[in-house]
Structure 1
Amino acid sequence: MTAAVSFNVSERLQYLGENCSLVTWDGPDDPQDPFNWPTRKKWWTIGLGLLASFICSMNGTILSVAHESISKEFGFSDEPFPNSYWITTSWGVGAAIFPLVMFPFLEDWGVRPVLLGTYFCFMCLLVPIGLAGNFATLVVVRFFPGGCVPLMSDAVASITSNVFHGDRAGSIPVCLYVVVYLSSTSLGPVVGASILQYLDWRWIGYIELIFTATLFPVLCLSLPETRGIAILRAKAKRMRNEGKQVYTAEEANPAPWKQALVKSVQRPIYMLFTESVVFVAAIWAAFSLGTIYLFTESVRDVYGLLYGWTDFQAGYVRSAIVVGEILGAGLSISTNHWYYASAARNTEVPGTPIPEARLYPAVIGGFFGVTGGMFVYGWAAYSNIPWIVITIGLTMVGFGTTAVVVSIANYLIDAYSKYAASALAAVGLVENTSIAFLPLAASALYTKLGFHWASTLLGFLSLVLVATPFLVIRWGKEIRARSPFMKEAIIHRQVDSVVVARA
């Protein structure tokens, strides 16, 4: 593969002119290479991305507490169907579709222009939310901000892979990337309730616009480019302006953007239906993440009927999920040494950790967190039991969800190597589809089955899914041997281990 690419680049340079040359890094220690940046600069860049992701991810659930005000103003009812949730469904559909189509541009244009452009579009799209004249307009305009948010989250993940090399350095940033998205989503109703307690629901959009716009100049001034090919492209452009005939490898041998777009859409869908690991991971992650949104819808009914709480009070109690998500991040980070220790028993690529060891925290989170939390939330739902008990159940679910999603992300990155982006895109497609449609059943589920059996049903489904990592851990070597994508990842890991051993 490398030889073919080099031959094509050489041919292209000869075609462009005899004096043309290739622009590359000025040696392995080139300070412009993001891998060589000071640690402080790396974390500053990741921190800016995480802050942008945090502010924008809140948009997914921030309007969920305003369902009564919105339905009253636009003249529709949430009985027998929760029509007000369509604004979140629209958001989730946009989040599922946009990354598949737009991810190639992140790869080709660089992180900075994509993140800033997407952030600016998101900021502008908050204006019609506050000005919507009817419910249909509100549903439509929510579709586009929903599509912007995962693109910014993907940009954060891309920043991490651009500045940190290796699984050890990238473990904590990946964990933070997941927990920031989850905690922001869970805090959305809390922020919305705080605004709605004093102002009209339209002010949720206005205030969100204000603090989103406040960060934009900071991003414009402080966010550097981290994508290597984009940095080299800018360097080549400056040199051409000085009269030199230089090109990057990508400029000398450009790939058709239509081909990249088709591959971006095609490969994740293909992997979703042909890679059993990707399919199961997508279902498990989608169930765990969809449950957070489902609980966002069920909390107001449970706390309202049992304890007579208002929507505002029920909005605040959702912060318990955030506490659990932070604890889940602590579990994921503190158990990284389990993964590193697995290198001692790796017979395929000696000296490198076993990918399946990434799933150990998911077993704890799935069983004691998501499953246990659902049973607590369901069977402590009696008016004579203090509200703090079922709130602990919410905290347990938040704890387990973070452990599961972080473990799945890390496992797919390790197991699929250069195809990890496509595997994660497949998981994201199913996750966001779950976010869009699963909570539509919340009202009917908790009304028809009752608080106890609705959560019990979810608990048993979670218990079934908890069995999946045991199967992957037990049969992981055989699964990887049958997967063409994983086999290629093993070859890359073997080559890397040889290089490290020689060094």
Structure 2
Amino acid sequence: MPSLNSGNNLPPIKALNQTNLRETMQSFLQYRRARFEVQAQIDRDLEKAKDAASPSGPNTTQPAHDVTPASVKSSQSCEDDDQESPDSSDEKEHPATDLPIGNIPQIDSDEIEEVYTPVQCSRTVETIRTHYSDGTALGQALTGVHVRDRRTHEGHGGQVFVVDWAGPADPLNPHNWSMLRRIGVTLQISMIALFVGAASGIDATVLPQAAKDFGVSEVAESLATGLYLVGMGLGSLIAGPFSETFGRNAVYTGSFAIFMLFIMASGLSPNFGAQITFRFLAGCSASTPLVCSGGSIADMYNGLEKTWSFPVYAVPAFGGPMIVGWPYIFEYTYHIGQGLANIIFIAMYVGTQINFLFVPIIYKMTNRRNQEAESQGQHHFSPEIRLWYAMFGAAVAIPVSLFWLGWTNYGSISIWSAIFAVVLFGYGVTGIFLCVYMYIIDSYGIYSASALTFVSLIRYVVAGGVTVVGIPFYEKMGTHYTLTIMACLSVVLVPIPYLLYFYGPWIRAKSRFAVAG
């Protein structure tokens, strides 16, 4: 099974046993050889950095931060590298400890000669005689590292080191994974979201029985669902920043392991207090796929590929809550059993599949916009095209389905009317989710995980509160008025994707974290 590693984590170490001992030893020798090659490259880079910062260069009286244009030249042959290789007879002593880069291990030359394999020379560009400080000169010399001035949101003054991939073909870059592996990882993330989503509403399916067992009212027992949702919102404040610091794989694995413990504890709770406590903690650890999934998709797919890859993640994942049922719409109105009423809510999940019908159309339109952007010398197309999933009918489908369900939810009207309304509602909700998350990802780029954190916080805290007040609302207002009120509120929100489509660039220009254009 492909790894979930789409961040900065090292690949897992295989277990050492008799069957793979030979393979492991070969890998170890390859690793040592690569390590020595890297050490040799570092030594050469340190020598270049020392030469660049040498006091013998011109204009040494300038401040350390003052930079004059650097002369660059291309290596025309392999002789220069051969002269500086570790097995050279006139090897120099490199003052690595003079530079503020941490401790670099030194390797004996006889040890290098034992396993060192010469690396095929490539054409490199070396920087000659700049007036950087020692640390900045090192950043100019190291491969894959460059130095730039701090930007506004990073503070004032000084410079920062920017570490990039080793090259466009770096195998550690998730964009370079095979298509099969990327799809496999996407489906894994989708399954995680499916499980944590299903756990959010699983208590609601047995609400009356759970309330009776714990000796509390159904309103109180609904806290098991409400606090879980609130926990998902609050947990996103931790999962998002952690995924950008420690890598997404570590956060996925660690949070899901904790989630399994807390959700098991909530099922085995001896009393109501323990149940809602463990449900809240389970919700906190279940927030990872909500805030990290967007970053994971962005790590693996380019802008055009996200048009179809994000629906591959989101549509299966949305089945969890739909499997958030509710007795008032079907069970009490049509006098059917509790189990059958919950099963009918799967119709909402069927409605999510309608979004797949729009994927080829939107992909074709996105591809055309992408080509237009490239022809104009732009690196990316406008994020506003992500709103098409909502503009093509999803935004309108939500109020229509709620009005439909509220005004036809009578025992005298066929139950199939309500089922088809639920199908339409599932299509609308998933379409809105697709466009919102992709729009945020494309609008904020590397800051998308943090942006999705606040979206998830607001979304699930509000959802948790509405869940608790839902029972009194249905009981006091009735199904018809409750659904009609929600439909009216959704009507007010329908214009938002259309407004963002036209005014989104102006709004994004007001943010220092959003992408330009």
**TM (normalized to structure 2)?**
0.65
Q: What's the CA shift for 1:405?
A: 1.0
The answer as to whether partners of 1:320 and 1:391 remain within 8 angstroms in 2 is yes
Seen in structure 2, the aligned counterparts of structure 1 residues 175 and 373 have a Cα distance that, compared at 3 Å, is: same
Seen in structure 2, the aligned counterparts of structure 1 residues 111 and 413 have a Cα distance that, compared at 3 Å, is: closer
Q: What's the CA shift for 1:345?
A: 7.3
Whether 1:320 and 2:456 are equivalent positions in the alignment is: no
Whether 1:57 and 2:213 are equivalent positions in the alignment is: no
Report the Cα distance in structure 1 between the residues aligned to 2:437 and 2:377, rounded to whole angstroms.
21
Report the Cα distance in structure 2 between the residues aligned to 1:405 and 1:470, rounded to whole angstroms.
15
Whether 1:85 and 2:208 are equivalent positions in the alignment is: no
The answer as to whether partners of 1:90 and 1:143 remain within 8 angstroms in 2 is yes
Seen in structure 2, the aligned counterparts of structure 1 residues 27 and 356 have a Cα distance that, compared at 3 Å, is: closer
1:184 alignment counterpart: 320
1:370 alignment counterpart: 398
Q: What's the CA shift for 1:305?
A: 2.6
Whether 1:470 and 2:495 are equivalent positions in the alignment is: no
Indicate the larger mover: 95-104 or 387-396.
95-104
Seen in structure 2, the aligned counterparts of structure 1 residues 33 and 477 have a Cα distance that, compared at 3 Å, is: closer
The answer as to whether partners of 1:157 and 1:177 remain within 8 angstroms in 2 is no
Seen in structure 2, the aligned counterparts of structure 1 residues 28 and 442 have a Cα distance that, compared at 3 Å, is: same
RMSD: 2.9
Indicate the larger mover: 119-128 or 442-451.
442-451
2:389 alignment counterpart: 361
| Larger helix fraction of residues | 1
Seen in structure 2, the aligned counterparts of structure 1 residues 69 and 152 have a Cα distance that, compared at 3 Å, is: same
1:138 alignment counterpart: 275
Seen in structure 2, the aligned counterparts of structure 1 residues 11 and 345 have a Cα distance that, compared at 3 Å, is: farther
Q: What's the CA shift for 1:421?
A: 2.1
> What is the SS of the residue equivalent to 1:132?
coil
Seen in structure 2, the aligned counterparts of structure 1 residues 430 and 332 have a Cα distance that, compared at 3 Å, is: farther
What is the identity, as a one-letter code, of the residue corresponding to 2:434? V
Q: What's the CA shift for 1:151?
A: 0.8
> What is the SS of the residue equivalent to 1:449?
helix
2:467 alignment counterpart: 439
Unaligned stretches of 5+ in structure 1?
5-9, 188-292, 494-503
> What is the SS of the residue equivalent to 1:485?
coil
- Quote the sequence identity (%): 23
What is the identity, as a one-letter code, of the residue corresponding to 2:287? P
1:224 alignment counterpart: none
> What is the SS of the residue equivalent to 2:336?
coil
Report the Cα distance in structure 1 between the residues aligned to 2:98 and 2:331, rounded to whole angstroms.
68
**Paired residue for 1:173, among 309, 316, 332?**
309
Which of the pair has more CA radius of gyration? 2
What is the identity, as a one-letter code, of the residue corresponding to 2:275? L
Report the Cα distance in structure 2 between the residues aligned to 1:117 and 1:23, rounded to whole angstroms.
33
2:286 alignment counterpart: 149
Whether 1:33 and 2:173 are equivalent positions in the alignment is: yes
Q: What's the CA shift for 1:319?
A: 0.3
Q: Which has the higher contact order (CA 8 A, sep 6+)?
A: 1
**Paired residue for 2:254, among 117, 129, 152?**
117
Whether 1:161 and 2:266 are equivalent positions in the alignment is: no
Report the Cα distance in structure 2 between the residues aligned to 1:146 and 1:333, rounded to whole angstroms.
35
What are the within-5 Å matches in structure 2 for residues 95-114 of structure 1? 95-114=232-251
2:102 alignment counterpart: 16
Q: What's the CA shift for 1:350?
A: 5.3
**Paired residue for 2:419, among 375, 379, 391?**
391
Seen in structure 2, the aligned counterparts of structure 1 residues 350 and 112 have a Cα distance that, compared at 3 Å, is: closer
Q: What's the CA shift for 1:95?
A: 0.4
**Paired residue for 1:311, among 338, 344, 347?**
338
The answer as to whether partners of 2:350 and 2:423 remain within 8 angstroms in 1 is yes
Whether 1:338 and 2:475 are equivalent positions in the alignment is: no
> What is the SS of the residue equivalent to 2:330?
helix
1:44 alignment counterpart: 184
Q: What's the CA shift for 1:355?
A: 2.0
Report the Cα distance in structure 1 between the residues aligned to 2:439 and 2:318, rounded to whole angstroms.
18
